[in-house]
Chain A
């Protein structure tokens, strides 16, 4: 087995996870636990595929996915921020809803493949200079531009969260919304915008699956990747930079699980599939034992903010 090819495939498999994880990090940093990741990915996947099929335009397809994911998140934001509904239940409802919509709308799509114009747009493109680095160039810099977008977004999200005033405000909203409110931050606005941004990212992650990775319509195309993204947020301790490492690691496990089946090795693929979740639990226990502030879940995660309760 060629290790370089394996790693190339790893980056591919990790990319949809990366988008969804970045989205959920931003959402949770706003203090909202949205378990609708799987649903929003499916919304993005079906919208991206449908738009791509009709318009044959890759940019419009991505735009469709972004809008679909953000609209799903808007429902969640309206219910949990404005109407203060329970976040866990609302997130689960969103997953049911997204699965329903994609199954319903996707019924007529099954069997269709992406048009050639879109496939060629998302074909591997070697980056100048970087792409010529031995091994690393082949693995990281001879990919499709969606993968590159992932690199850029990691940095953008990292800067946004840790080096801008907006990021600081966002973290305050997630840690202590009452204090944020008292210091003049519009808590609801921050929550709405970031939850929707998170949904848009999940939509993009889903569209990567249907438009680039597969690229054919299958029912339930995300196959539980949304839940892996929820795990990844913890694994990455709410840090975009660690998210990229985690996403590729979990993507790699996915690939290894598939490859191992061909070799009839002693380790069954289901046990490997377990690893991301087991490792996540260990990380979760570890961060709760150490109580390092930067690595902990946002303090107000899951709690609705009610101004009059102050």
Chain B
């Protein structure tokens, strides 16, 4: 007879071992698949690593892909901690990028530090407002936020598409639907060859870690997530806590949008999110909502994407193979969570019967 019980007291070391085993299992399964297709899996994996970290240029590319993933994941983690299932990061990134771009394109001539600061604030506000709308309805009418935020993504996407193909289209580029590049003042400076978004990212990892684990506000967010009733009895102002958390969550996503628009694309474009809003949900979850773990998981994910596009040119393996691998790794890791949280015990039927009689 099978009996499943919740596990208690699993050491951190054990749970990390489980996860590493899951990833290894996924790599093994995908390796078999590659072998069937006639590729040498060791060569393919080795060149994926090389594609992600092989040269200084590639390391920079991997880090550039890591930055929005980490910042967005941190934002999602704050909402998830409150059990507000914000899957609207994609839209919040778009709206943050949109607001920042509006500032950059409207005031191209104000001094660089001032302009960048204004863009930063605009980005946070843009993403924050986009997250607040579903949060308001959740608080007021208990409207399902998962579905609401998902719909908001598409409205934001269509809005940016509209701007790019319509009113914001650069008339000087005939035949191409692109928005005009920001002025030099609206572009993030580089440190060590990477836009300074990486410094912002590192600061935020620390800041969010401290906020969630060491401050009263962060604690309150977790309490509201655990039980609204507990929070109410403890005399917390739930509405204010919800609004704070959601503005931080959406604001961080909007900030990621501003960084992408300014640092990577130098303008607003439909490609500005690159699907980060969805990938970040996965990295947040796999990172167990903990800032440092999120950073590591995001780096690995970015490496997977970067390495995936490298094997396309090296082996003529379609780029979709990297997505396939991503999917399989996710399935394995998601499945392994079960064995971390639950314990399966085999008991013989006699013992079960005896226990029943006792009861």
Contact = CB atoms under 8 A, between A and B. Distances in A.
Nearest to B165: A270
A270 B155 CA distance: 9
Given A96-B326, A270-B165, A284-B143, A88 B334 contact: no
9 contacts: A88-B281, A92-B281, A92-B282, A93-B334, A97-B326, A270-B162, A278-B151, A278-B155, A308-B5
Contacts of A82: 338
Interface in B324-345: 324-328, 330-331, 334-335, 337-338, 341-342
Contacts of A103: 318-320, 323-324
Contacts of A89: 281-282, 285, 330, 334
B322 A271 contact: no
A288 B146 CA distance: 13
Nearest to B330: A93
A270 B150 contact: no
B238 to A, nearest CB: 18
B85 interface: yes
A116 B64 CA distance: 49
B87 A79 contact: no
Nearest to A75: B331
B15 interface: no
Given A93-B282, A99-B320, A302-B146, A79 B331 contact: yes
A103 to B, nearest CB: 3
B161 interface: yes
B142 interface: yes
B152 A281 contact: yes
B141 interface: yes
Nearest to B327: A97
B151 A281 contact: yes
Contact of A88 (B4, B146, B325, B330): B146
A1 interface: no
A93 B327 contact: yes
Interface of B: 4-6, 85, 87, 137, 141-144, 146-148, 150-152, 154-155, 158-159, 161-162, 165-166, 278, 281-282, 285, 318-328, 330-331, 334-335, 337-338, 341-342
B323 A96 contact: yes
Contacts of A308: 4-6
Contact of B158 (A78, A231, A273, A285): A273
Nearest to B317: A104
A274 B159 contact: yes
A277 interface: yes
A86 B338 CA distance: 10
Nearest to A76: B331
Interface in A244-276: 268, 270-271, 273-274
A107 B282 contact: no
Given A83-B338, A89-B281, A96 B141 contact: no
A271 B162 contact: yes
Contacts of A100: 320-327
Contacts, number: 145
A258 to B, nearest CB: 14
A84 B339 CA distance: 10
Interface string A271-310: 1011001101100110011000000010001100001100
Interface residues of A, number: 50
Contacts of A97: 323-324, 326-328, 330-331
Contact of B320 (A86, A90, A104): A104
A273 B154 CA distance: 9
B165 A268 contact: yes
Contact of B151 (A79, A84, A270, A280): A280
Contacts of B150: 35, 227, 230-231
A153 interface: no
A33 interface: yes
Given A93-B282, A288-B142, A277 B326 contact: no
A53 interface: no
Nearest to A105: B320
Given A101-B324, A277-B154, A289-B141, 18 more contacts: A78-B335, A85-B338, A94-B327, A97-B331, A100-B324, A100-B325, A100-B326, A101-B320, A103-B320, A107-B318, A227-B150, A270-B161, A277-B158, A278-B155, A284-B143, A285-B137, A285-B141, A288-B142
Contacts of B142: 288
A86 B286 CA distance: 11
B322 to A, nearest CB: 7
A224 B319 CA distance: 19
A99 B162 contact: no
A234 interface: yes
Contacts of A284: 143-144, 147-148, 151
A129 B238 CA distance: 63
Given A100-B325, A234-B147, A274 B155 contact: yes
B87 A85 contact: no
Interface in A41-94: 75, 78-79, 82-86, 88-90, 92-94
A126 to B, nearest CB: 37
A121 B143 CA distance: 45
A98 B152 CA distance: 23
